[in-house]
Every structure is written in structure tokens, then in C-alpha cells.
């Protein structure tokens, strides 16, 4: 009599599916928890309401992930990348001669009123001088939208890169 182990062990199909599905469920739950914690931290940082709406985790036909944003945040992104990114760099991360606006927006004293004041009157910092934007209608009419975009970036709700505007948003 030979003691031989079987080459294959029979595992019922239902058990095999469980081992396939459990890791996927864990990944989905972790992603959902991360998204909830990001939106909760953003809401607590702004007193319960945010000036933006961001839905990340979308995937396009090419398999690339992207975020949907409301109209105001999208216009803020366009305005920022039309004027502000020249000094403050793409995605508001700062450069050698202008600070990171993501970090500046995280400061507790950065209220919408202070933001408008700095945009209107300019700002003198340690490195350089930001010019006043009140005379430029392409920027001065978009302070609310710029604030929404920069707060979404500062709160971590909007990752770097080009967002897409939500369909059918006014």
C-alpha cells in the first residue's frame, strides 16, 4: 500500500468563488472608506459645507481614472490654469518663486473674504509679490470658482490633473 497525496484537492465551486470575491470586496470597501473620509474631512474643515462637488473614481474608455466636478469647480480649474499656474505651477503645488496654494488654502485663517482681499489687492510674501487681479475681468469675475477649485485641491477631494465637468450641471 502506497501513501500518496492526491494531485488535486476537490474544492466546491462555491468556496472557490468566495476566495475570488473576498479580495475584490475588501478593495471596494477600502476605496469607499477613503472617499468617505476625504469628504468628511473636507466638510469638517469648511464648517460642514463645501463650495465644490467632486466625484472621483470614474474610469474612461481607455481605463484612466478621473474625477467629475461641478460647473463652478471646473470653471475655477480653467481660470487657474489660464492665469495662476504661470507662477503657482500646475495643480497649485507651488514653484520656486510662488507658494503652494494647496498649502495656503489649508491655513485656518484662509476665509473666502481673505481670499477675495488677496486676489483684489495682491499679496507680498517672502519670495515675491502677487499682483492685484481686480482690474482683470477674466479673473475678478471668477473668484468664487477659483476658491471652489483651490479648496477642493486643499481638502484632498480633487487630485492633481484635469477634472471633467459633471454632465447636466448648471
Partners of 124 in beta bridges: 129
Work out the angle between the directed axes of helices 71-79 and 143-154 (0-180°, nearest 10). 90
Residue appearing with cell numbers 462637488: 53
- CATH number, domain of 120, equals 1.10.760.10
124 domain residue, yes or no: yes
In this structure, the answer to whether residues 33 and 73 fall within a common structural domain is no
Residues 98, 88 contacting (CB under 8 angstroms): yes
The tens digit of pLDDT for each residue in 137-157 reads 999 999 999 999 999 999 999
In this structure, the answer to whether residues 80 and 151 fall within a common structural domain is yes
Higher-pLDDT residue of 119 and 8 is: 119
Strands 129-130 and 65-69: unpaired
Query: Among 109, 115, 108, which Cα is nearest to 140's?
Result: 115
1 domain residue, yes or no: no
Q: How many domains does the chain have?
A: 2
User: Once rounded to an integer, what is the mean pLDDT over residues 99-103?
Assistant: 94
Query: Among 88, 96, 108, 97, which Cα is nearest to 149's?
Result: 88
Domain range holding 27?
Answer: 11-49
What is the pTM for the complete model shown? 0.70
Cβ-count burial 126-137 (b if 16+ within 10 Å, e if not) = eeeebeebeeee
The tens digit of pLDDT for each residue in 21-69 reads 555 555 544 445 444 444 444 444 445 588 999 999 988 899 889 999 9
In this structure, the answer to whether residues 72 and 122 fall within a common structural domain is yes
Amino acid at each position: 500500500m502506497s501513501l500518496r497525496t492526491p494531485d488535486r484537492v476537490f474544492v466546491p465551486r462555491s468556496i472557490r468563488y468566495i476566495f475570488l470575491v473576498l479580495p475584490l470586496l475588501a478593495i471596494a470597501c477600502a476605496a469607499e472608506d477613503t472617499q468617505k473620509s476625504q469628504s468628511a474631512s473636507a466638510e469638517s474643515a469648511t464648517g460642514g459645507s463645501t463650495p465644490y462637488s467632486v466625484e472621483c473614481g470614474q474610469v474612461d474608455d481607455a481605463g484612466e481614472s478621473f474625477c467629475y466636478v461641478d460647473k463652478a469647480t471646473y470653471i475655477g480649474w480653467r481660470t487657474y490654469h489660464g492665469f495662476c499656474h504661470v507662477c503657482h505651477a500646475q495643480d497649485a503645488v507651488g514653484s520656486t518663486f510662488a507658494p503652494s496654494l494647496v498649502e495656503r488654502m489649508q491655513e485656518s485663517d484662509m476665509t473666502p473674504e481673505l481670499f477675495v482681499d488677496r486676489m483684489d489687492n495682491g499679496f507680498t510674501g517672502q519670495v515675491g509679490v502677487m499682483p492685484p487681479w481686480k482690474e482683470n475681468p477674466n479673473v475678478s469675475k471668477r473668484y468664487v470658482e477659483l476658491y471652489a477649485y483651490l479648496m477642493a485641491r486643499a481638502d484632498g477631494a480633487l487630485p492633481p490633473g484635469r477634472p471633467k465637468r459633471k454632465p447636466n450641471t448648471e
